[in-house]
Amino acid sequence: MAKVLIIGAGGVGSVVTHKCAQVPEVFSEICLASRTKSKCDAIAAQLKRKISTAQVDADNVPEMVALIKQVKPDLVLNVALPYQDLHIMDACLATGVDYLDTANYEPPDEAKFCYKWQWDYQQRFQEKGLMALLGSGFDPGVTNVFTAWAKKKHFDEIHTLDIIDCNAGDHGQPFATNFNPEINIREVTQRGKYYENGQWLETEPLSRFETFDFPEGIGPKKIYLMYHEELESLVHHFPEIRRGRFWMTFSDNYLNHLKVLEGIGMTSIEPVNYQGQEIIPLQFLKAVLPDPGSLGPLTKGRTCIGCLISGIKDGKKKVYYIYNICDHEACYREVKSQAISYTTGVPAMIGALMMLTGKWRGTGVFNMEQFDPEPFMEKLNLHGLPWVEYAGDLSGIKL
């Protein structure tokens, strides 16, 4: 029996709250807090059990500290913006409470995936006897656990790792993002990067693509090489990996709109002066695009996220593919959110469950792959994200 404080009432925050509420034997008390309390209240009204709500500015450390002292949680579950990670970690250190998030810290003025800022908290969390679990979403998160599972069960050495993320859903809108538009567009428009033979190599944004034939009727889709933060931790914790890459699908419609918006400066994070007021073009664009939360009842189709891995087992070469399929409409029926939020929110709940039940414990700052994957993999099957190990012939797949 534990109390959790959830920070953030967007699409992922809504899913996390719903899923925590479904496990009262672990999450006996839940407080949901956000800058806009009315969003928290709207989520709370959807639940079959009572939770508390609060208003908090996650950028304001003293305000966060005051709320944590008031709520007295066993764990702070951060599903706010990545810009706020360090502020919330500071508040947890000040109050002696464990921490969990779903995405690494990003500085507001630079689109940069890097764990250094959070890894630098290692000594401070150790000295306080606290645990911080980083990246407990799907990618990062489940993909890290899939890799650890593959190493434990299927490989003596992992040589190549390709993380492949497909959203085969359709919301019917001319242009919209399935999660926070500002974070999504920052991620997509930065330079690609992958790991090979001990070094990081960069590519122009979305300049490299392949075609991948997705399972269970989804079929062939273009996948584009990007950089994603889990690569940094995975090649660090599995140093035998010779090549690590991340791929994501995008429709031609999405890319055409994005190209136009980028061409006219609307994706820029550099401030501009408009009628005497300084604004960030990307933040203005976020304000006029559809709210990702509004896409839930509109989105049909499925996601497919997984890891394609090659390496050595018992002296022989082996190729292995593990993935999850998630249905947008089924997610909406269960928790009033589409599958993009669902695939991030469910693993956040399971990561919290791992910490609160003692399955995963330690002092310091941890990535997902540093723990035994088995209990987490078991909970994925029980809480809505069943995984599949592909049993077909993978010998012809080359990326």
Separation of alpha carbons 266 and 287, rounded Å: 12
* Contacting residues for 234 by C-beta, under 8 A, at least 6 apart: 144, 147, 161, 241, 244, 369
Q: What SS3 state is found at 272?
A: strand
Residue ranges and CATH numbers for the domains of the chain are 2-134 (3.40.50.720), 142-335+382-389 (3.30.360.10)
Residue 131's CB: how many other CB atoms inside 10 A? Answer: 21
| pLDDT tens per residue across span 20-74 | 999 999 999 999 999 999 999 999 999 999 999 999 999 999 999 999 999 999 9
Question: Which one-letter DSSP state was computed for residue 197?
Answer: T
Q: List pLDDT tens digits, range 63-110.
A: 999 999 999 999 999 999 999 999 999 999 999 999 999 999 988 777
CA dist 148 and 372 (Å) reads 8
Q: Give yes or no for a contact between 124 and 117, defined as CB atoms under 8 angstroms apart.
A: no
Q: Which token pair is 222?
A: 């273009």
Tell me which DSSP letter residue 239 carries. Answer: T
Residue 141 DSSP symbol: B
Q: Which residues pair with 195 in a beta bridge?
A: 200, 244
β-strand partners of 29: 3
Query: CB of 9 within 8 A of CB of 337?
Result: no
Across 60-95, b (16+ Cβ under 10 Å) vs e yields ebebbbebbeebebbbbbbbbbbbbbbbbbbbbbeb
Report d(CA 223, CA 320) in Å as an integer: 19
Q: What pTM was estimated for this model as a whole?
A: 0.94
How would DSSP label each residue in 159-181?
EEEEEEEEE--B---SS--SS-H
pLDDT band at 398 (very low <50, low <70, confident <90, very high): low
- Cβ partners under 8 Å of residue 303, min gap 6: 165, 166, 167, 168, 169, 324, 325, 326, 328, 339, 340, 343
Average pLDDT over the chain, rounded to an integer: 93
Bridge-partner residues for 309, per DSSP? 161, 320
pLDDT higher than threshold 70 for residue 320:
yes
Q: How many CA atoms lie within 13 Å of 122's alpha carbon, on the beta-carbon side?
A: 6
Q: Which residues contact 188 (CB under 8 A, 6 or more apart)?
A: 205, 206, 226, 250, 258
User: What is the maximum alpha-carbon separation in the chain?
Assistant: 68
Q: Are 79 and 12 in contact (CB under 8 A)?
A: yes
Provide the phi-psi class of 350: left if phi over 0, else alpha when psi is between -120 and 50, else beta: alpha
Residues 6+ apart with CB under 8 A from 252: none
Contact 385, 157 (CB under 8 A): no
The owner of tokens 């940094």 is 232
pLDDT tens profile 7-35: 999 999 999 999 999 999 999 999 999 99
Give pLDDT, residue 110.
73
pLDDT reported for residue 395: 64
Residue 312 vs residues 147, 154, 241, 309: alpha-carbon distances, Å: 14, 9, 11, 10
pLDDT of 269-317, one tens digit each?
Answer: 888 888 888 888 888 888 888 877 777 787 899 999 999 999 999 999 9
* DSSP assignments along 96-131, one per residue: T-EEEESS----TTS----SHHHHTTHHHHHHHT-E
The answer to whether the beta carbons of residues 108 and 82 sit under 8 Å apart is no
pLDDT score of 392: 66
